[in-house]
Amino acid sequence: MGASSIDSKSALIAGGTAAVVTYYLSKRHFDNKTIQLRKEKYDRDQKERTAQNATRQDSGLPNGVKLEGFQSDNVYLQDLEHLGKYFASEGEGIKNLMELGGHHAEYNKLIGPEECILANIRRGPGSTAVTRAFVRAGPRKELHFNPKKVNAAIVTCGGLCPGLNNVIREITRSLFYLYGIEGKCYGIVGGYSGFYDPKTPPIELTPDTVRHIHNKGGTMLGSSRGGFDIDKIVDFIKKKDIRQLYVIGGDGTHRGAFKIHETCMELGLHVAVAGIPKTIDNDVDYIDRSFGFITSVEQAQDAIRAAKTEAMCNLPNGIGIVKLMGRSSGFIAAHATLGSGDVDLCLVPEVPIVLDGEKGCLPHVWERVKQKGYAVIVVAEGAGEELLGESTETDASGNKKLPMIGEFLKSEIGKYFKGRGEEATVKYIDPSYMIRSVPANATDSLYCMQLGQNAVHGTMAGYTGFSVGLLNNKMCLLPIPELVATSPRQMDARGRTWERILGITRQPNTVETGKRSKTGSILCR
Ligand SMILES: Nc1ncnc2c1ncn2[C@@H]1O[C@H](COP(=O)(O)OP(=O)(O)O)[C@@H](O)[C@H]1O
Ligand SMILES: O=P(O)(O)OC[C@H]1O[C@](O)(COP(=O)(O)O)[C@@H](O)[C@@H]1O
Ligand SMILES: [Mg+2]
């Protein structure tokens, strides 16, 4: 293949007429000239996107391309990277199994271009009705990949979360059963380092090997922090001829996934990278909630019930403290408090802790104990940094280590009661790892199933650099850079959730006037 025909093809692709070009891309890897041209086009696209977004933001409009034909809204569809811009489709002429009927229902709906999910569904008097929108998830008529040629890999990274196995299972089953891939599906063992660590070689995933895993907590693949070596990861992708990579993890993992996507594009590797947001902290922005979150809230309520029993039965002045996970956001603590209805004090990273005085939490606890004989406290692990100071230590992924807020509270409550001439009987419960290592409940199992299937629909259609999630209760595909830009998200300390907490616990509100939460996503509730 001569350089001139490569040039003319690239020019045609750049001109948007890729469909009429007869491609030579039967070869898996490309010569340097092709790679350079593709990289240049990718860089140009990126620059253009950034410039357009900056202009839109300056004029107060959301990012994305304005969709015409919407009667009552100005809808700006978020740009999603599609491999068809840089590579020929390998799926031409192959019918989507969804369309073929057979054991798939014929009434399956195939998603058309420009079908989208509106990000902002709130409207009020005088609303300007301008909204961003995300690509609707689901099976497409056009396949980008030929299932015969697809090798895939799945990796789980970061902390555990209920539902990881369900997602692994559903991706695997969708690849083999919905699309009939004929290549291999590799399970990368122990997080990103499993791409290259000889001590943890990949395993082969098939519908048989994943058959029973959805009933178990944890991840059959194992997970880890740290250990992201882009060159070695890409070496694996090349060596095993991987076309689709599924990365299950939180904000850190997604940053890594996007680097893999960008590197693949720069090297001319025909690979779709999909993320599936995993975080029991629920701190990935935009999505309604992350999988496993509801299960962990449910588990947290068992701990709160235990704390209440301990507090009620241990005299004098019984107080139960439950510490829950939530590094920079208190979603688990807040939702467990709301669901339980038995909590007298809820402390989260988004709202400063005041110990004493008019707005102090210690006098509040004293009051509640005096009123009903006991009190229950829920505290998120990341709360109270303003009191205890920020740690300079980090874990292998660079996440800050957290001060011992639970133990600190226990000691301060003891001192406060002593200061007022009484003993407090404080029972401290830290159920963290018991909460995130359980199997997914029914709601999360259903969610994981949808996530797994839609991740595969997305890659099969040729989308890349995307993540999948529920937005306003509809499944959609989100560009990873958007997702990580405002993650980890926090609760809005002036929002409805915190207002409800104050209603339930009747604790003093310590949110400073005028203070906004750190992340400002319009969707952060
Ligand atoms: N900015 C980043 N770029 C590349 N990889 C990253 C980045 N941040 C984290 N990672 C990798 O992602 C994995 C999980 O990250 P971590 O922060 O521990 O969990 P989570 O993805 O749940 O936030 C780790 O292997 C870590 O090395
Ligand atoms: O002890 P580990 O395994 O590092 O996990 C603790 C952390 O994991 C989490 O549950 C989730 O963190 P990630 O979403 O970053 O994986 C945090 O709430 C908690 O601080
Ligand atoms: Mg994280």
12 or 217: which carries more pLDDT confidence? 217
Q: Is the CB of 217 under 6 A from ligand 2?
A: no
Does residue 454 surpass a pLDDT of 90?
Answer: yes
Q: Please tell me the residue having the least CA distance from ligand 2 atom 4.
A: 159
Does residue 12 surpass a pLDDT of 70?
Answer: no
Question: CB 33: neighbour CB atoms within 10 A?
Answer: 14
Q: Is the CB of 279 under 6 A from ligand 2?
A: yes
Does residue 298 surpass a pLDDT of 90?
Answer: yes
Mind giving me the DSSP string for 284-312? SSSSS--BTHHHHHHHHHHHHHHHHHHHH
196 or 60: which carries more pLDDT confidence? 196
116 CA from centroid of ligand 3 (Å): 28
348 CA from centroid of ligand 1 (Å): 23
Q: Is the CB of 158 under 6 A from ligand 2?
A: yes
337-371 burial: b if 16+ Cβ within 10 Å, else e: bbbbebbbbbbbbbbbbbbeeebbbbbbbbebbee
Does residue 306 surpass a pLDDT of 90?
Answer: yes
Ligand 1 pocket at CB < 6 A:
157-159, 191-192, 225-228, 249-253, 255-256, 259, 279, 397, 399
Residue position matching structure tokens 């491999």: 83
Query: Do residues 225 and 397 touch, judged by C-beta distance below 8 A?
Result: yes
Read off the pTM.
Answer: 0.89
* The ligand 2 atom nearest the CA atom of 279: 14
Instruction: Report pLDDT digits (tens) over 493-524.
Output: 999 999 999 999 999 999 976 545 444 333 33
258 CA from centroid of ligand 3 (Å): 15
For residue 492, CA distances in Å to 16, 351, 452, 499, 507 come to 43, 9, 30, 10, 17
Per-residue pLDDT at 17: 32
Per-residue pLDDT at 149: 92
333 CA from centroid of ligand 3 (Å): 17
In testing the pocket of ligand 1, which one of 262, 397, 436 has its CB within 8 Å of the most ligand atoms?
Answer: 397
Alpha-carbon distance of 157 to 397, in angstroms, equals: 10
pLDDT band at 129, cuts 50/70/90? confident
Does residue 176 surpass a pLDDT of 70?
Answer: yes
pLDDT band at 105, cuts 50/70/90? low
pLDDT band at 99, cuts 50/70/90? low
Catalytic residue IDs: 281
Residue position matching structure tokens 């994943």: 210
Interval 125-154 mean pLDDT: 89
* The ligand 2 atom nearest the CA atom of 158: 16
* The ligand 1 atom nearest the CA atom of 254: 21
344 CA from centroid of ligand 3 (Å): 29
Q: Please tell me the residue having the least CA distance from ligand 1 atom 17.
A: 252
In this structure, what are the phi and psi dihedrals at residue 455, rounded to the nearest 5 degrees?
-60, -45
Residue 434 sits at the vertex; the CA angle it makes with 375 and 173, to the nearest 5 degrees, is 135
Alpha-carbon distance of 522 to 517, in angstroms, equals: 12
418-457 burial: b if 16+ Cβ within 10 Å, else e: eeeeeebbbbbbbbbeebbbbbbbeebbebbbbbbbbbbb
Would you give the DSSP letter of residue 84?
G
For residue 235, CA distances in Å to 145, 464, 500 come to 21, 19, 51
Per-residue pLDDT at 235: 97
Instruction: Report pLDDT digits (tens) over 312-348.
Output: 999 999 999 999 999 999 999 999 999 999 999 999 9
Alpha-carbon distance of 157 to 155, in angstroms, equals: 7
Interval 296-318 mean pLDDT: 97
Determine the 3-state secondary structure of 244 from DSSP. strand
Structure tokens given for 89? 């489709």
Structure tokens given for 457? 């629909």
Does residue 97 surpass a pLDDT of 80?
Answer: no
With 0-12 / 13-18 / 19 or more C-beta atoms within 10 angstroms meaning exposed / middle / buried, residue 265 is buried
Per-residue pLDDT at 261: 96
Per-residue pLDDT at 342: 97
Greatest alpha-carbon pair distance for the chain in Å reads 90
ipTM: 0.98
Per-residue pLDDT at 451: 98
Question: CB 504: neighbour CB atoms within 10 A?
Answer: 17
